[in-house]
């Protein structure tokens, strides 16, 4: 009996260790970009604007700028923010899941690593959504499908200009209209 209990505990520990080691690769995705940081950002922004389904740019953040302002050095990092009222609306209307507003707007990070290459990363919206019930799971599965399209690039087309600042905002804060959730 002691062997069975010990085996059960060892099995739970093993499963916990595996979940801990693989959780980040399940919760987030990362892929290389064939372009530099600014061109990748510009192409993602254009894809969001052309996506339909209520998607609009909500902002562009540069977290590396704060590190540099504090006297540090950081490789380039840009965060493209987008929101779709079609998808945010049902979640924001439901008291039981409104706390998920913390995840809005959707963010896609574009950054350079020490290997000199540019990468794109985002949250696994489909997996995250399934953790919060059927309604959120359904909504987030659509978000995940759209986000996958945001990072598909046609290299034969010229790069659009990068949109700096916060679209639809006044004074740097999110305003009504197309930008923000």
Considering the entire predicted model, what is its pTM?
0.80
Q: What CA–CA distance (Å, rounded) separates 51 from 57?
A: 11
Residue pLDDT tens, the chain, 181 long: 777 676 657 666 666 555 555 555 578 999 999 999 999 999 999 999 999 999 999 999 999 998 999 988 899 999 999 999 999 999 999 999 999 999 889 999 999 999 999 999 999 999 989 999 999 999 999 999 999 999 999 999 999 999 987 655 433 333 334 445 6
Give me Rg for the CA atoms of the chain. 19
Q: What CA–CA distance (Å, rounded) separates 33 from 55?
A: 22
Q: Is it true that the peptide bond before 105 is cis, omega within 30 degrees of 0? A: yes
**Fold designation for 27-150:** TATA-Binding Protein (3.30.310)
**What is the DSSP annotation of 95-117?**
TTTGGGGGG-SEEEEEEE-TTS-
């Amino acid at each position: 009996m002691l062997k069975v209990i010990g085996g059960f505990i060892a099995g739970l520990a093993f499963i916990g260790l595996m979940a801990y080691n693989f959780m980040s690769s399940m919760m987030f995705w990362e892929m290389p970009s064939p372009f530099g940081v600014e061109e990748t950002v510009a192409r993602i922004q254009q894809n969001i604007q052309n996506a339909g389904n209520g998607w609009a740019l909500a902002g562009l953040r540069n977290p590396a700028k704060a590190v540099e302002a504090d006297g540090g050095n950081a490789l380039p990092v840009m965060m493209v923010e987008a929101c779709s009222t079609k998808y945010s609306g049902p979640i924001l209307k439901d008291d039981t899941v409104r706390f998920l507003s913390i995840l809005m707007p959707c963010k896609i990070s574009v950054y350079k690593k020490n290997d000199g290459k540019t990468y794109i990363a985002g949250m696994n919206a489909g997996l995250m959504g399934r953790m919060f019930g059927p309604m959120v799971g359904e909504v987030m599965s659509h978000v995940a499908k759209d986000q996958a399209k945001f990072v598909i690039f046609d290299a034969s087309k010229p790069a659009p200009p990068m949109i700096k600042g916060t679209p639809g905002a006044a004074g740097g804060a999110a305003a009504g209209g197309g930008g923000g959730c």
